[in-house]
Structure 1
Amino acid sequence: MGTVAALYRYPVKSTLGEGVPAVAVTADGFAGDRVFAVLDGTRAVGSAKHPRKWGALLRCRSRTDSSGRVRVVLPDGSALAAEDPDLDQRLSRLLGRQVFLSAAVPERSRLERAVPEYEGEVPDVVRATASVDATGESITSGTVAPGTFFDFGKVHLVTTASLARMREVYPAGDFDVRRFRPNLVVDTDDGPGFPEDAWPGSRLRVGEALFRVVVPTPRCAVPTLGHDELPPDPGIMRAVAREHRVPVFDLGRLSCLGVYLDVLEAGTVRLGDKITSQQTV
């Protein structure tokens, strides 16, 4: 099926993350992934899916140092440990309101998503519940996955074949994989686009770990935003919406790229590991 081309984790939700040569996979996903999030007084979990409110987080980077401590690199290049009392103040200045970094998921948390003008990113039933908030953005609200800072799946996979297909569809766009914030990038040897469409329900052995493919990954506004040196490009998601809308549960046909995975067996995954499909029992 392919090999592991890249591994990423994002110690602080909605910041730029770090590529790693190997990672321990636990029942909760990649070790060190989304262990912190930035919160505000309304119990909103900081997510660049609401760019006007939280998009500045993508100007920061989170990484894990050699001692296992998470550090946040701010736009001016300074790196502060997650426990540094000055970090909350610096993040509050960056975002223009009082926020704080937390490893604890609040009860009744809120996850806000901007609603795009094009169809396919938000289910019609959800779009009907949208409201305009203080930023002037039309948003919907949901929750994070129980007990975590994940939106839904614990591991997110993207294939090189799907990215290659989107480059054919929209040659002016830069479909750098970092825009899609995967954990696991699979090199499918230049096969046809969107091979992962056939994977939901299957089991994938990746290195020592075993995963179950749950569902295609509906995309939001985040791939259109600036990431590091990558400039904003609203055409990225318009192209995905035109080219690849697939059924997701009972929510209709949504703009998708990649799939979400659950962990069935823990273990270490390394760059270059082969990926094989295993029969379900």
Structure 2
Amino acid sequence: MAEIVGVVERLWRYPVKSTAGERLLEVAVDDRGLAGDRLYAVRDADGKLGSGKNTRRFRRMDGLLRLGSRLGHRLDGPELLDPLGHTVTDPDAFLQAYLQRADVRLAREDGVSHFDQLPVSLLTTATLDWVREAAPNALVDERRFRPNILLRTPPGTPPFVEDQWFGHEGELRSGVRLAFVRSSERCAMATAAQPGLPRAPEILRVLTRAHQSRLDALATVHAPGLLRVGDRLRLH
């Protein structure tokens, strides 16, 4: 029997990886995730993608989180926004000057996914409210955790309820089906400063102590469709 576990309160996509996101009222979802999400990235001459961390695939490029990106109804290329929210006319030239790297450019995904992990990230208000209580001196906002879906959960829902959904499917009104797999391990990017949010290292400390630095529910898409604010999520 399916149980309603929450209602979609906000939708986010991040057209350029590691930049601030774009808030949406509705968006198409397919096997890759939300249409246009992390479809572009800042790529250097070694083929590494700009990120908040250094790995085999990613290169830390401080400052990207202070930039914004949006697609609107277009999927042919994003608008890049400077730290004041103004549209950049020449993204490559701007990025090279802003990052002080002559080898970077804005690059569309070319067969190698720009995602760190799985296509869709969902965070509940129950968990977000817990972070606010556990780190009362920090300015806590879902933008720090970069979810695609913020799900409003009923009063009394325990924090980290997302953990109980792993191995189950959630279905939304349009028929979109998400298969919940695991949570994200959080890094210093969740504590970094961005427009409207000062640096907050205490957030990672409380997550590490309470939940092994993990937060959200990562999912694959088992059935495509249109995702809307106000949709109810039924868990099977």
Query: What's the TM-score, normalizing by structure 1?
Result: 0.76
Give the alignment of 1:50-129 within 5 angstroms.
Answer: 50=54, 53-68=60-75, 69-80=77-88, 86-98=90-102, 99-105=104-110
| CA 1:8–1:77: 2 relative to 1, 3 Å | closer
Structure 2 unaligned blocks of 5 or more: none
Q: What is the CA deviation profile of residues 51-82 of structure 1, one whole-angstrom value per residue up to 9, with x for unaligned ones?
A: x941211111000134444110122543136x
- What is the CA–CA distance in structure 1 between the aligned matches of 2:134 and 2:83, rounded to whole Å? 33
> Is this contact kept in 2: 1:225–1:232, CA < 8 A?
yes
Aligned match of 2:172: 206
Give the alignment of 1:119-158 within 5 angstroms.
Answer: 147-158=112-123
Indicate whether 1:272 and 2:211 are aligned: no
Aligned match of 2:151: 186
- What is the CA–CA distance in structure 2 between the aligned matches of 1:35 and 1:224, rounded to whole Å? 24
Amino acid at match of 2:21: G
Aligned match of 2:162: 196
- What is the CA–CA distance in structure 1 between the aligned matches of 2:73 and 2:162, rounded to whole Å? 35
Amino acid at match of 1:277: L
> Is this contact kept in 1: 2:68–2:85, CA < 8 A?
no
| CA 1:273–1:228: 2 relative to 1, 3 Å | same
- What is the CA–CA distance in structure 2 between the aligned matches of 1:104 and 1:274, rounded to whole Å? 31
Amino acid at match of 2:209: R
- What is the CA–CA distance in structure 1 between the aligned matches of 2:186 and 2:85, rounded to whole Å? 30
The number of residue pairs the alignment matches comes to 225
Per the TM alignment, residue 29 of structure 1 is displaced from its structure 2 partner at its CA by 0.1
In terms of mean alpha carbon deviation, does 205-214 or 11-20 score higher?
Answer: 205-214
Aligned match of 1:252: none
| CA 1:38–1:257: 2 relative to 1, 3 Å | same
Indicate whether 1:36 and 2:2 are aligned: no
Amino acid at match of 1:264: H
Q: Secondary structure at the match of 1:79?
A: coil
Per the TM alignment, residue 257 of structure 1 is displaced from its structure 2 partner at its CA by 0.7
| CA 1:275–1:66: 2 relative to 1, 3 Å | closer
- What is the CA–CA distance in structure 2 between the aligned matches of 1:94 and 1:230, rounded to whole Å? 20
In terms of mean alpha carbon deviation, does 162-171 or 229-238 score higher?
Answer: 162-171
Q: Secondary structure at the match of 2:39?
A: coil
Matched residues, percent identical?
A: 38
| CA 1:42–1:158: 2 relative to 1, 3 Å | same
Aligned match of 1:231: 198
In terms of mean alpha carbon deviation, does 163-172 or 208-217 score higher?
Answer: 163-172
Q: Secondary structure at the match of 2:205?
A: helix
Amino acid at match of 2:17: K
| CA 1:213–1:67: 2 relative to 1, 3 Å | closer
- What is the CA–CA distance in structure 1 between the aligned matches of 2:60 and 2:164, rounded to whole Å? 36
Q: Secondary structure at the match of 1:261?
A: strand
Query: What's the TM-score, normalizing by structure 2?
Result: 0.90
Indicate whether 1:163 and 2:167 are aligned: no
Q: Secondary structure at the match of 1:242?
A: helix
> Is this contact kept in 2: 1:178–1:227, CA < 8 A?
no
Q: What is the CA deviation profile of residues 113-138 of structure 1, one whole-angstrom value per residue up to 9, with x for unaligned ones?
A: xxxxxxxxxxxxxxxxxxxxxxxxxx
Q: Secondary structure at the match of 2:204?
A: helix
Amino acid at match of 1:62: S
Aligned match of 2:210: 243
Higher relative contact order (CA 8 A, sep 6+): 2
Per the TM alignment, residue 207 of structure 1 is displaced from its structure 2 partner at its CA by 2.8
